[in-house]
Amino acid sequence: MLTKQQKAEQIKESRDILSANKTLVFTDFSGKTVEEVKKLRRSLLSIGAKLKVFKKKLLRIAFTENGIDFNPEQFESQVATVFTDKDIADVAGIVYKSDISILGGYDLAGKNFIDAETVKKIGQLPSREILLGQLVGMLSAPIKMFMRVLSEKSKMVENK
């Protein structure tokens, strides 16, 4: 059981973390081993995100103090929160691949809740670099085909 002083410190810490970040992802870590959670923490640290566990009630108080209309007590399971100053796409993929269930997300800049299914779909998307590569391939394919047709036509003209 936490003392009043410890609770006040946790509220202050979560309030400071909320003000310094722009995206949250809520995860359910119940039934997971310590190693699985540590592995997720290490993966998140590599991109500058943090996984923290706060009591839901204390997190709700920090949300209220920061002017955020969201109640994390709506989740019935144990909640770990991923805090990041990056976009949700950067974090959702790592959390999705870690096989820890996603409960939802919150965009602090837009002040809106993102449901679990949407966060999972974002997590399944390929990385930005892969998507840009696919876009370049799609844009260059018609030009390559046109060049091939012209090349074949020129060979036909030369053979006559």
Q: Where are the domains of the chain?
A: 4-125, 126-160
Q: What is the pLDDT along the chain (160 residues), one digit of tens a residue?
A: 778 888 888 888 888 888 888 899 999 988 888 898 899 999 999 989 999 888 888 888 888 888 888 888 888 888 889 999 888 888 998 999 888 899 999 988 888 899 999 999 999 988 888 889 999 999 999 999 999 999 988 888 877 6
Spatial distance between the Cα atoms of 27 and 81, rounded to a whole number of angstroms: 6
Q: What is the CATH code of the structural domain delimited by 4-125? A: 3.30.70.1730
Bridge partners of 52? 81
Q: What is the pTM of this model?
A: 0.77
108 and 97 in contact (C-beta within 8 Å)? no
Residue written as token pair 């053979």: 159
